[in-house]
Amino acid sequence: MTKLDFGELSILEELGNRLGLSPDEIRKSIKEPPREDLGDIALASFILAKKVGKDPKDVSEQIKNKIGDLWFLKKTEAYGPYVNLFYDHRKVAESVLNAVNETYGKMNLGNGERVFLEHTSVNPNKALHIGHAKNACIGDSLGRLLRFVNYKTVIANYIDDTGAQVADDIVGIKFLGMPERKDGVKLDIYLGNEVYVATTKAYKTDPSLIERRKQVLKSIEEGKDDIAAFAKKLVSAVVSAQLETLDRLGIYYNLINHEVHILSYKFWETAFEQLKKMGLAVYRDSGDKEGCWVFSARNDDSSDKILVRSDGTVVYVGKDIAYAMWKHGLLDADFRYKKLLTQKNGELLWETTDDTTDTVHPRFNGVKTSITLVDVRQSYEQDVVKDAIRRIAGDRAADYVHYAYEVVALSANTARRFGIEPEEGEKTFSMSGRNGVFINTDDFLNQLYEKVYAETKNRNPNVQGAEQAKIAESITVSTFRYELVKSDPKRMTVFDIDEALKLQEKNAVYLLYTYARASSILNKAGAGWTWSGGVPRELEGKEKKLINLLTKFPTAIFDSTKNLDLGTLSNYLSSLCFEFNSFYEGVQVINAGEEERSFRLVLVASVRNVLKNGMELLGLVPVERI
């Protein structure tokens, strides 16, 4: 564990040093006391007793004696199989309040290690629907979190521009006579809502169009004729439209990877030759996989994964293995790159190219760890890729992580807002892009914004139009993102606009409201107050709870990062908001005596700083008022 500014992690570090325990050992033995009279934290001595083969009660007494006096403790009690630790809250408060600033919670977990994080990856034939947005919002927040703890993260958006869905749009335009664009309609929305849907329906009545699609796919893969040139232009325009939506959500990338370049650079052919030389790609001349090339590390066929079918076609997982090999520097090949644009966050966005190239560019691949966000429906394929990378890497360090997440559904009431009637008795509505039954992110954000703006205008009648719009946009983006990242990603997200906008715990509005409340208190206090650095007296119960929670912010960051679990951070922020609002409603701040006033104001400022840090990691946009 890296040395930190003051926080619960540094407390545990000191305890571990006193007891001769590793960071993991001390953390595994920490428990939350069920009651306030049992201390602030507890060490579960029964966990440590197993290691030494002694009665937990005896070990508790030994641990208590070994801890002795530490500066942050008022007393230590052996209590059955636990050791209860009671903070000296005045000392703890002074230390944590001196530590909390705009960098509080940062730590050097990553030590500058490069991580490849791939998310979004929407087919470039349509707009992002809210299921795609869940992928993008989770991925962006993970990237923010990893960078916060000093991982050098490469954020990539993989563009499948050789797939059938791009071909479907081209068939619709070139062979069904549909226009390339529609006035007043964003290109990605038009293509996905109208061209793609019309084409997939036309296949059922005109089978000859399926042959047209095969011809288009062949042209795209070969990249030599007018169809290929048109596909390239269309994909570029669609990606640009998708990036507009992502920009509204505050989501940015380092690299756009085009699948067409994986083909033109012959990554699969290079990977295939390497696999054959390593004995990992094996030809089966008998059995149920006769005529296929398979990935296998055994002599029998029990672990076979087909790479190349008997008809010579490469399965999708084969291309994914080649791409993953490139990520980890296991492929004897690389792309050329060029600058695409400068994003609103000031960072350059690069893309792969087979045209002219910028010779000086960042290094994008060759990482130890890669994280790929793909929904749970592709878990089997992702397991195959993970297994392949493990075997190909051998003794070389390579950790391929599949970050699985569940899909998004709408509540029945929210679906009706968009003119969609769920089946009778259904409480949720699931979307289907192929059937044209889905909600685009742009449409959803716009509807959410209209509802938020009306409420903002009602609550803030004296605020000017531009400021009202800024507040409404902040609430819109924050609500949308928070609903998609706040809970277990492996559980279906059911989005309900009305529920999401209620002022209740575990909602973005609650976090934004609390941040705005803290800002308002500080604004009312003015600029003349200062904190001497001291704590005037023994803390009251509500103050102790806030101080304890402030110490836990680095712990929430640590656990969220180690487990890639945004829910841990989300739950922490909700708890902090609840305790802060309880504190403010129960004690005087502005009207307290001078010494107490300055102490409570610095406590308010510290909560505000932690909320700002935490909310921005989750993609929320704090504002001074809502």
Residue 626 in any domain: the answer is no
Q: Does one domain contain both 285 and 300?
A: yes
3-class DSSP assignment, residue 277? helix
Residue 404 in any domain: the answer is yes
Residue 505 has pLDDT above 90, yes or no: no
Q: Does one domain contain both 553 and 488?
A: no
Q: Does one domain contain both 167 and 238?
A: yes
pLDDT computed for residue 302 by the predictor: 62
Q: Does one domain contain both 403 and 423?
A: no
Residue 92 in any domain: the answer is no
Range ranked top by mean pLDDT from 21-25, 255-259, 456-460: 255-259
Q: Does one domain contain both 132 and 270?
A: yes
**Segment 486-490 mean pLDDT:** 88
Instruction: Report the amino acid identity of residue 184.
Output: G
Q: Does one domain contain both 131 and 157?
A: yes
pLDDT computed for residue 421 by the predictor: 78
**Segment 328-352 mean pLDDT:** 95
Q: Does one domain contain both 297 and 358?
A: yes
Report the relative pairing of strands 369-375 and 399-405 from DSSP bridges. parallel
Residue 435: pLDDT band (50, 70, 90) is: low
Average pLDDT taken over every residue of the chain: 91
pLDDT computed for residue 53 by the predictor: 67
Residue 459 in any domain: the answer is yes
Q: Does one domain contain both 205 and 318?
A: yes
Angle CA(239)–CA(488)–CA(606) in degrees, nearest 5?
90
Which of these three, 408, 436, 464, is where a domain ends? 408
pLDDT computed for residue 434 by the predictor: 53
pLDDT computed for residue 1 by the predictor: 33
Least confident interval from 30-34, 133-137, 513-517: 30-34
Q: Does one domain contain both 585 and 523?
A: yes
Name the CA dihedral angle for 426, 430, 432, 435, rounded to a multiple of 10 degrees: 10
Instruction: Report the amino acid identity of residue 199.
Output: T
Task: Say how far apart CA 348 and CA 524 lie, in whole Å.
Answer: 40
| Cβ atoms 481, 620 nearer than 8 A | yes
Residue 103 in any domain: the answer is no
Residue 202: pLDDT band (50, 70, 90) is: very high
In CATH, what number is assigned to the domain containing residue 609?
A: 1.10.730.10
Residue 145 has pLDDT above 90, yes or no: yes
More confident site: 436 or 462? 462
DSSP-assigned states of every residue in 330-377 = -SS---EEEEEEE-TTS-EEEEEESSS--SS-------SEEEEEEEGG
3-class DSSP assignment, residue 488? coil
pLDDT (tens digit, 9 = 90+) per residue, 153-169? 999 999 999 888 999 99
Task: Say how far apart CA 140 and CA 579 lie, in whole Å.
Answer: 28
Question: What's the half-sphere exposure (Cβ side, CA atoms, 13 Å) at 162?
Answer: 17
Residue 98 in any domain: the answer is no
Q: Which residues contact 603 (CB under 8 A, 6 or more apart)?
A: 93, 97, 543, 546, 547, 583
Residue 4: pLDDT band (50, 70, 90) is: very low
Residue 420: pLDDT band (50, 70, 90) is: confident
Task: Say how far apart CA 305 and CA 349 lie, in whole Å.
Answer: 36
Domain range spanning residue 416? 412-499
Q: Does one domain contain both 466 and 335?
A: no
Q: Does one domain contain both 362 and 314?
A: yes
Prediction pTM value: 0.93
Which of these three, 381, 408, 435, is where a domain ends? 408
User: What backbone torsions phi and psi does residue 253 show, to the nearest 5 degrees?
Assistant: -135, 170
pLDDT computed for residue 298 by the predictor: 60
Residue 94 has pLDDT above 90, yes or no: yes
Least confident interval from 44-58, 128-142, 260-274, 400-414: 44-58
More confident site: 421 or 52? 421
Residue 564 has pLDDT above 50, yes or no: yes
Residue 299 has pLDDT above 70, yes or no: no
Residue 96 in any domain: the answer is no
pLDDT computed for residue 300 by the predictor: 54
More confident site: 429 or 508? 508
Q: How far apart are the first and last CA of the chain?
A: 39
Residue 437: pLDDT band (50, 70, 90) is: low
Residue 624 in any domain: the answer is no
Count of the separate structural domains present in the chain:
4
Residue 24: pLDDT band (50, 70, 90) is: confident
In CATH, what number is assigned to the domain containing residue 221?
A: 3.40.50.620
| Cβ atoms 398, 330 nearer than 8 A | yes
**Segment 36-57 mean pLDDT:** 82
Residue 2 has pLDDT above 70, yes or no: no
Question: Quick one: what percent of the chain has pLDDT higher than 70?
Answer: 96
Residue 428: pLDDT band (50, 70, 90) is: confident
Which of these three, 357, 388, 408, is where a domain ends? 408
In CATH, what number is assigned to the domain containing residue 39?
A: 3.30.1360.70
Q: Does one domain contain both 276 and 325?
A: yes
